[in-house]
Amino acid sequence: MVSPVYERVVVKLSGEALAGPAGFGVDQTVVETIAADIAASRRLGVEIALVVGGGNIFRGVEVSGRGVSRPTGDTMGMLATVMNSLVLEAALERNGAPATTLSSVPMPTVCDHFSRRRALDLIGEGRVVLLAGGTGNPYFTTDTTAVLRAAELDCKAVLKATNVDGVYEADPKQDKSAKRYDRLSPREALERNLKVMDSTAFALARENRMPIIVFSIREPRAIEAVLRGEGRATIVAD
């Protein structure tokens, strides 16, 4: 059996990763594929916490100034992440990976409230923990949530699933000759102004020396491949 590269990780999925070709909402076929990938990764022995965005349903910044305040819009965005987490929780259980959603926004009739202690206990029991509700605060993103929780839960890396197979010097969709990096330091990423995560998330990762692995979720079994050290990805680390 291959030893996984990291023994405990946060996997960050954008809400759009669940949307499929429609670009919004939840595509059940896509959800099943991702859940099977995470279940296979869990079988490698990797402990996994999952942070899912909400952009396939709602982003606070999109309604800000249009009759809804930014904090209220952000709250709606955080609720969207809870919906996505519940969809994935069910799919993970169907795929044989016991999973529990914890929310940073208290909603006791829906799921348990996040605490570091509770999350660590569940991870220790071998469950995949879905960290819903973002940080619980407006003006933040789920990228920031992923890095924050990875640091709190003593994870060894954040696996950031995107639509491209790593970090490029320019948008590869617009510039076909853009250079792709296999590895780069956070300092280089900053100096070259390369977009890895939003600035708050990236600053937190730098301060806590948290490696960020950027890869494409569009590849089959992408998460498992990264954890086996075989996937195509950019590693952002010192």
The answer to whether the beta carbons of residues 154 and 123 sit under 8 Å apart is no
Is the four-CA dihedral 181, 207, 213, 103 of positive or negative sign?
negative
Instruction: State the Cα angle at 143 between 236 and 91, rounded to 5°.
Output: 105
| Residue 14 engages ligand UDP in binding (rule: CB under 6 A) | yes
Comparing CB distances to ligand UDP, the nearer of 22 and 61 is: 61
Q: Which stretch binds ligand UDP (CB under 6 A): 34-42, 91-99, 139-147, 163-171?
A: 139-147
The answer to whether the beta carbons of residues 103 and 110 sit under 8 Å apart is yes
Q: Which stretch binds ligand UDP (CB under 6 A): 132-140, 155-163, 173-181, 203-211?
A: 132-140
Gap between the Cα atoms of 204 and 99, Å rounded: 27
| Residue 171-210 contact track with ligand UDP, rule CB under 6 A, x = bound | ----------------------------------------
The answer to whether the beta carbons of residues 227 and 48 sit under 8 Å apart is no
Main-chain dihedrals φ then ψ at residue 207, nearest 5 degrees: -60, -35
Query: Which residue, among 142, 87, 153, has the nearest Cα to 119 in the 3D structure?
Result: 153
Comparing CB distances to ligand UDP, the nearer of 74 and 224 is: 74
| Residue 211 engages ligand UDP in binding (rule: CB under 6 A) | no
The answer to whether the beta carbons of residues 113 and 102 sit under 8 Å apart is yes
Comparing CB distances to ligand UDP, the nearer of 5 and 13 is: 13
Decide the pairing of beta strands 212-216 and 233-236.
antiparallel
Gap between the Cα atoms of 36 and 112, Å rounded: 24
The answer to whether the beta carbons of residues 128 and 50 sit under 8 Å apart is yes
Q: Scanning residues 39 to 78, which ones bind ligand UDP (CB under 6 A)?
A: 53-55, 59-61, 73-74, 77-78
Decide the pairing of beta strands 128-132 and 47-52.
parallel
Q: Which helix (H) or strand (E) holds 42?
A: helix 28-43
- Residue of 72, 138, 152, 156 that binds ligand UDP (CB under 6 A): 138
In whole angstroms, the minimum distance from the beta carbon of 15 to ligand UDP comes to: 3
- Residue of 95, 101, 103, 142 that binds ligand UDP (CB under 6 A): 142
In whole angstroms, the minimum distance from the beta carbon of 69 to ligand UDP comes to: 12
State which residue has the least CB distance to ligand UDP: 53
| Residue 100 engages ligand UDP in binding (rule: CB under 6 A) | no
**Total residues in contact with ligand UDP, by rule CB under 6 A:** 24
Residues that bind ligand UDP (CB under 6 A): 14-16, 53-55, 59-61, 73-74, 77-78, 80-81, 134-135, 137-138, 140-143, 145
